[in-house]
Amino acid sequence: MLPNERLAYSAIGERPPLVLPNGARLAVWVIVNVEEWDIRQPMPRTVLSPPAGGSPMPDIPNWAWHEYGNRVGFWRMLEVFDEFRIPAALAINGSAIAAYAPIARAAHERNWEFMGHGFTQKNMQKVENESADIARTSEAIAEFTGRRPRGWLGPGLTETWDTPDLLVEAGYPDGRDARTGKPLVINYDAQGVGPGYKSRVDWTVKQFAKLNVQLEADSFRVLTSLVEEGLGFALLPPSSVHGEVADGRLETAVVSKPMTRELIFASPIDRPASTASLAITALLREEVAACRKEGVWDIKLA
């Protein structure tokens, strides 16, 4: 079944805002991947490109940086997590529980949630029996932690067309809220960098869709939320916040009319802006005034 056959299209502007528990404005989900790479096989990722191309075996340089992560990197991250009391989820290969037992113990002692991540770090499209691999991974986690995993992350984000159905058959949630039965939605904030940004986001959306989870990649929702909460100001074309202004959620002030696009300051109506936001706004106004004085913009400050 194709992703768009599993999940109907839903425009983010037609859905109510995501409301977090206890009035929180930001949710952070920390996932640590722990994997066992078979040095007798081509490496799952090559940070160091093999000379003259090809897939050398053994690929010592790329195997070594992965091994360094399990021997050193994980433990340095753990110190930070402990210091700031940050809980995490552990996406772990079933085989890595035994191969890197101290890591598994440390995560279990901290009550981290274990997620299935394939039995070995191998493309799920190339495993001989995907259903058996999912079952073997789940059993390894259940045996170690005493409870079956509820989450799954394919090795290297790989899946097949059948993965969502196989996960449901293995007892994993099917991407729906247990209380409402509605599809789960994740709002994904990202900065666009480079010409390939859109294709990367589109690919990420498709990967989540394979798990029946709807991913919305949109910075505007986050931007307007920060303005409404009094945590910041924004320079925007007025058409982008027309609805928010009409609903009485934002107020605006004209800043400039460079070229053919008018710019405005968007600010909250019923919440005081932070000191930092006001300071940034003042600096921004100074920059606009300087541009006007130098003839870069022919504008009038509101």
What pLDDT score was predicted for residue 35? 95
Pairwise CA distance, residues 18 & 186, whole Å: 9
Helix or strand run (H / E) with residue 108: helix 101-109
Locate CATH 3.20.20.370 in the chain. Answer: 3-218
Class of domain 3-218: alpha beta
Please, are residues 37 and 63 in contact by the beta-carbon 8 Å criterion? yes
Residue 110: other Cβ atoms inside 10 A: 15
In angstroms, the first-to-last Cα distance of the chain is 55
Pairwise CA distance, residues 58 & 219, whole Å: 43
The residue with tokens 């925007």 is 236
Please give the average per-residue pLDDT across 167-179, as a whole number: 73
Please give the average per-residue pLDDT across 9-34, as a whole number: 85
Query: How far from the centroid of its chain's Cα atoms is residue 237's Cα?
Result: 28
CA distances from 288 to 228, 256, 292, 301 (A): 23, 8, 6, 8
Is the pLDDT score of 187 beyond 60? no
What is the SS3 assignment for 279? Answer: helix
What pLDDT score was predicted for residue 197? 58
Q: What is the pLDDT of residues 280-301, one digit of tens each?
A: 667 666 766 776 677 655 555 4
Q: What is the pLDDT of residues 209-245, one digit of tens each?
A: 766 666 655 555 555 555 555 555 555 555 555 666 6
Please, are residues 167 and 115 in contact by the beta-carbon 8 Å criterion? no
- How many Cα atoms sit within 13 Å of 30 on the Cβ side? 11
Pairwise CA distance, residues 121 & 203, whole Å: 20
Pairwise CA distance, residues 61 & 48, whole Å: 7
- How many Cα atoms sit within 13 Å of 71 on the Cβ side? 6
Is the pLDDT score of 261 beyond 90? no
Please give the average per-residue pLDDT across 54-78, as a whole number: 89
